[in-house]
Amino acid sequence: MVFYMAVTPGEVTTSLIILVIVFVFVRVLRSKGKKQVSLPGPWSFPIVGNLLQLGDHPYLTFMEMRKKYGDVFLIKLGMVPVVVVNGMEMVKQVLLKDGEHFGGRPNMHAFSSLAEGKSFSFSVNFGDSWKLHKKIASNALRTFSKAEAKSSTCSCLLEEHVVEEVSELVKVLAELTSKNGSFDPRSAVTCAVANVVCALCFGKRYDHGDEEFLKIVKTNDDILKASRAANPADFIPCFRYLPLRIINGPRVFYQALNQFIAQHVQDHLTTYDKNHMRDITDALIHTCHSKYAATKTATLNDDEIIGTVNDLFGAGFETVSTCLYWSFLYLICYPEIQAKIQEEIDENIGLKSPRFEDRKILPYTEAFINEIFRHASFIPFTIPHCTTADTTLNGCFIPRKTCTFINMYQVNHDETIWDDPALFRPERFLNEKKELNKSLVDKVLIFGMGIRKCLGEDVARNEVFIFITTVLQQLKLKKCRGAELDLTPIYGLAMKPKPYQLQAEPRSPGISCC
């Protein structure tokens, strides 16, 4: 349990002044003789740096700064120098060509409690141990998310769980319309996606009204809200010692999530049977306790297994649910696009339950999903990177341990790559033969690239596809009469659309909705 000290405003102000003075003095002493970043950038204020200049949508602010300072420039967030990277070529340089030099993570206070510091996604350390950690996680995820796993002894397959949950979601959406006339789909979508992740990680699904389940769904929401604005403690370290809720709030939410996941992993450690792989957690235990142990190769301990499950749980949860929430909004904003997707589904799938393999025969649907990723760009930045050694970028020196932001939103709206990037137009991803243009798909940045690329890209793409095609096969989504829809995002770790209402009417598969 975390307790917050009762302090008066005067005490807080005095503490702040003392801490800031001490911190500035220490930083000045430490900076003497150190090489500095040699990049252009805006003038910054003492102590707070450029924090006050970021506005409500920092990715847009950086796009404006890019016009003056170029693809790569320097800002200061508090006392911390941060390199901001825009432009596809510079992003490739950082994430692919010089990926090892930019593969670290800065020491972010906001994420220090995630998985009790055992998270490989947020791990500050970057080396052989991290690479092994990622390899083990990747193998475990692949075991339960690929179609070929059907021939194995595994009983928990991603495709089956997604099909089950989207069928339940269709019923929930239809019932909400019948009961309320219109509704906000966010809760129903989030619960459905969370159930897929729970089934994949723990071999268990929850009823949408289950109190334990709803508590963890709300905890994830609280984490996002607490991380929405820049946490002062990330960039002005002396703030970490102040008893303020804005500083310590995220820690409380992370501890609740950690406890939920740790309990499930501990249960699996107790009931583990090497002859019966139930889910990803069992796969991780099997890999770590058998294969690597037998060869005496370095492996993961139980705490690191918990951290890995935590990473997979969080990644599979938030990206997919946010994408679907955006997708439903775009579908009611552009009913003509919805009708085209339904026509394609009716002609190529008909009454059959959609499957992963159907992605190759539904190019327009795939184009729509990629245009959601590009246009909404709901994950505007990669998780912050950090240099692991002294290096150069765009001809400028960057010292070791320099925090780096990669602006994926800018790349997804770059006029040198995309025609009329402000327009939502799925057709841009189709060639003259109405086939998916894979080279253009590769230019969409939402999962990152290189050694720190999100492990769950294939899982997320498959899952989003099944959810969208199944919902549109059986339902017609409509906006409320007279409603004004707004595509402006609410800034955060994963940007959500503003709350909206829709109606879901049953339709007859095989008959296009016009």
| Residue at token pair 């889910």 | 279
DSSP codes of every residue in 32-79: TT-----------BTTTBTGGGS-S-HHHHHHHHHHHH-SEEEEEETT
For 387-429, strand residue ranges (E) read 391-393, 396-398, 403-406
Surface-to-core class of residue 116, CB atoms within 10 Å of its CB (0-12 exposed, 13-18 middle, 19+ buried):
middle
Q: How many CB atoms lie within 10 A of CB 376?
A: 25
Report the C-alpha gap between 252 and 262 in whole angstroms.
15
Residues in the annotated binding site = 454
Report the C-alpha gap between 412 and 427 in whole angstroms.
16
Candidates 97, 61, 100, 98; CA nearest to 82 is: 61
Report the C-alpha gap between 186 and 212 in whole angstroms.
18
* DSSP assigned state of 314: H
Residues in the annotated binding site for heme = 454
Q: How many CB atoms lie within 10 A of CB 514?
A: 9
Q: Are 471 and 144 in contact (CB under 8 A)?
A: no
Candidates 447, 388, 398; CA nearest to 103 is: 388
Report the C-alpha gap between 239 and 375 in whole angstroms.
36
Report the C-alpha gap between 496 and 501 in whole angstroms.
14
> What residues pair up with 104 in beta bridges, in sequence order?
386
CA dihedral 126, 129, 132, 138 (to 10 degrees): -50
Q: Are 417 and 440 in contact (CB under 8 A)?
A: no
Q: What Rg value do the Cα atoms of the chain yield, rounded?
A: 24
Report the C-alpha gap between 476 and 508 in whole angstroms.
10
φ, ψ of residue 397 in degrees (nearest 5): -75, 135
Distance of CA 456 to the CA centre of its chain: 10
Contacts of 21 (CB under 8 A, 6+ apart): none
289 to each of 115, 119, 235, 293, 305, how far by Cα in Å? 20, 19, 40, 5, 11
